[in-house]
Amino acid sequence: MYLRKKKIRLYETDATGVLYFAQQLKLAQETFEIFLESASFPLGVLLEKGEVLLPIVHAEADFFQPLRVGDEVELRLSLEKMGRTSFTLGCSFYKEEVLVGTTSIVHVVIEKAAWSSIQIPAALHQCLQTLQIG
């Protein structure tokens, strides 16, 4: 599991006064980027090399409580499932120890040139396993 704290900012909210729903998925994905970096797997380098991409094939989110500007959330990123060519990341959002939302995002590993799925590279596989719970 990887933990990250984050405060909700004005640009992430909308005129209803709360977090715009799609931003919750962005926050989860951003947490994955920060995790990759912490694991010496920076996305920027991956993009520059340009051989492998990790596009998202499925994403979902549940919203239990509205989040407002300045609210601090703790994001808990974990590996939900590891396949041969894809993996699923879960992210739970806590505000003062109360679960306020979750996301689940499925990435597939593809070779950029052919835009076809390939086996998860060993180094990435190892890195993702550190996200396993328990």
Nearer to a copy of itself, 16 or 134 (CB): 16
Residue 11's SS3 state is helix
CA 88 → CA 13, 18, 50, distances in Å?
27, 27, 22
Minimum distance of a copy of itself from residue 73's CB (angstroms): 13
CB-nearer residue toward a copy of itself: 53 or 82? 53
> Residue 46: helix, strand or coil by DSSP?
helix
Q: Of 26 and 81, which CB lies nearer to a copy of itself in the complex structure?
A: 26
Examine the residue annotation and report whether 62 is marked as an active-site residue of this protein. no
Dihedral sign for Cα 28, 30, 42, 76, please: negative
What is the DSSP code (8-state) at residue 65?
S
Where along the sequence are the contacts to a copy of itself (CB under 8 A)?
7-11, 13-18, 20-23, 25-26, 29-30, 33-34, 37, 42-45, 47-48, 53, 55-64, 66, 68-71, 105, 115
Rounded to whole angstroms, what are the CA distances from 97 to 16, 43, 44, 56, 106? 24, 30, 33, 29, 26
Find the shortest distance in angstroms from Cβ 28 to a copy of itself: 9
CB of 18 to a copy of itself, least distance (A): 7
Q: Among residues 3, 7, 9, 14, which one is catalytic?
A: 14
Question: Strand, coil or helix: what is 3?
Answer: strand
Active-site residue set? 14
